[in-house]
Structure 1
Amino acid sequence: MISRGRTGSILVTGAGHGIGRATAELFLSRGWRVGMYDVDRDAVTQAAAGRPGAVCGELDVRDPAQWGTALREFCGDGELDVLVNNAGVLASGPFEEMSADVHRRMVDVNVTGVVTGALEAYPYLQRSARGLLLNLCSASALYGQPTLATYGATKAAVRSLTEALDIEWRGAGVRVRSLLPLFVDTEMVSRDGRQAASVAHLGVRLTPEDVATAAWRVVHERRRFPSGPHRPVGRQTRLMATASAVTPGWANRLVVARLAR
């Protein structure tokens, strides 16, 4: 846990837009040193311009070499307090109507990118007395979503990775957490999630700033016992997470099937 009155260093992927940008800007506004990295170099350059404490650069999260460059650029030989594995891509629609390349890109960015980031950042997080790996997961990981099949599967993988590393890295003093928002008002959802039936049924009720605030809370939360590593974001997701944990699988399946109509 990091004291609310104390600043630190945080690297955010996918920081050029949406949740990543909102998270980076929140921490910058509160005096943190922030690494803003994105595959869209122009976007992070613009976002970081004139911001004391901001360091920006291009990063394709699928590439270990680019991760190494970004971490050395931002951390040098030092430590990293927080890595926010935020970068992700979304495609929605009938599973069989999307090309293999579209499915593969989601797996490569959403899973391989998160795994690679965790692996490359571990030595820097371990050096910090308060290291935290924060993965952006999704309520789509709670139960497989029709028209979001591969996207949900990638987020289920992130959820499982978070659970495993939360236990595995405890001895090294590195906390591992995930955020699980439902649909967030970002370009990714409005553009790439428009064919997801559950978007129409559940609506888009979260803003990038809501998720950024949740990230701030996780970074500064006091240790809770017993407590799992996942943090639902928003009332809808909290209700869904609670319900999915206590209701039988067949009931969850019926609910998801109804939302997919």
Structure 2
Amino acid sequence: MHSIFISGAAQGIGAAIATLFYQHGYKVGIYDINVVQAQKLAQHLGTNAKAGLLDVCHYEQWQQALNEFQAWAGEINILVNNAGILYSGAFEQTDIAAHQRTFNINVNGVVNGCHAALPFLRQASFARVINLSSASAIYGQPDLVSYSASKFAVRGITEGLDIEWQKYGIRVLDVMPLFVQTAMVKEMDAGSIQNMGVHLTAEDVAQTIYARVQAKDSMFTKTHEPVGLKTKIMFNLSKVSPQFVNRISTMFLATRK
């Protein structure tokens, strides 16, 4: 029985991932800074789910959580770096602490997770890393500057490690959803969400991640996987459009009504 370790798994996308993989017979690690809610989800799912405390900003907590989960599960096959936060609104009107916290969780959390998990993944019979990037990593987003930049960083981490860890037989992939119906986007202050709406569910993202894990590995396996039709169109157009077209498109989509 394969296992999956998910950060930020107590609610939203993380909980949807945990639920889907549990239904498909995986041992599931539900780790979150909100350990009480994580434990409730694990109890709800059943005996093949384990919950624990994890603040992704602290490397030592990663080491402790991964050791604990491997001792329980036997091996760690899948790491999902899901934990993340989002602050929206004008850059200069957002407190500097919020900008810094965004990078600490969204970027350092992924770096910590990948670095701490590698010794465990190398021991596994099959191993894969899935990072949560975003459609905001296609082109820098106004009113979401720090969040967008943090997801560009996740995109870069994914690309680099996907090549570097070939020597270990470990693929590092990501998913890139547009706005998802979770608590994170409620009362979001950005023109792009007003114009594009929120049509994806946490389950949509979970299904894409499950497909990424199940896909047979080959040289044609994509490092990035946009989630949803709108994201796929934006992602593919950005690869062939001149930069000024991408900039104008982003300006248009971000214009407040």
TM-score (ref. length: structure 1): 0.95
Please state whether the residue corresponding to 2:186 is helix, strand or coil.
helix
Cα shift at 1:37: 0.4
- Partner of residue 106 from structure 2, selected from 91, 94, 110: 110
Q: Determine the C-alpha separation between the residues in 2 that align with 1:155 and 1:246.
A: 21
Residue in 2 that maps onto 1:58 = 53
Tell me the matched-pair count: 253
DSSP 3-state at the match of 1:84:
strand
Indicate yes or no: 2:71 matched with 1:76. yes
Per-residue deviation at 1:224? 4.0
Question: Which residues of structure 2 form unaligned runs of 5+?
Answer: none
Letter of the 1:34 partner, please give it: V
Alignment match of 2:162 (pick from 157, 163, 166)? 166
Q: What per-residue deviation string (whole Å, max 9, x for no partner) do you get for residues 135-157 of structure 1? A: 00000000000000010000000
Q: Distance in 2 between matches of 1:225 and 1:171?
A: 14
4+ runs deviating over 2 angstroms: 76-79, 223-228
Q: Percent identity?
A: 43
Is the counterpart of residue 123 in structure 1 residue 119 in structure 2? yes
Task: State the partner residue of 1:236.
Answer: 230
Q: Deviations over 1:1-56 (max 9, x none)?
A: xxxxxx41000111111000000011111211000000111110111114120010
One-letter code aligned to 2:71: G
1:96 and 2:92 are equivalent in the alignment: yes
Cα deviation digits, residues 176-220 of structure 1 (max 9, x gap): 0000000000000114xx101100111101000000000110000
Provide the alpha-carbon RMSD of the alignment.
1.1
Is 1:146 aligned to 2:146, yes or no?
A: no
2:37 corresponds in structure 1 to: 43
SS of the aligned residue for 1:133 comes to strand
Match of 1:177, SS state, is strand
Tell me if 1:133 matches 2:129. Answer: yes
Which residue of the partner structure matches residue 192 of structure 2? 198
Counterpart residue number, 1:30? 24
Q: Match of 1:238, as an amino acid?
A: K
Offset of 1:76 from its aligned partner? 2.4
Question: How far apart are the structure 2 equivalents of 1:227 and 1:67?
Answer: 28
* 3-state SS of 2:47 partner: coil
**2:257 maps to 1:257:** no
Q: Distance in 1 between matches of 2:193 and 2:47?
A: 38
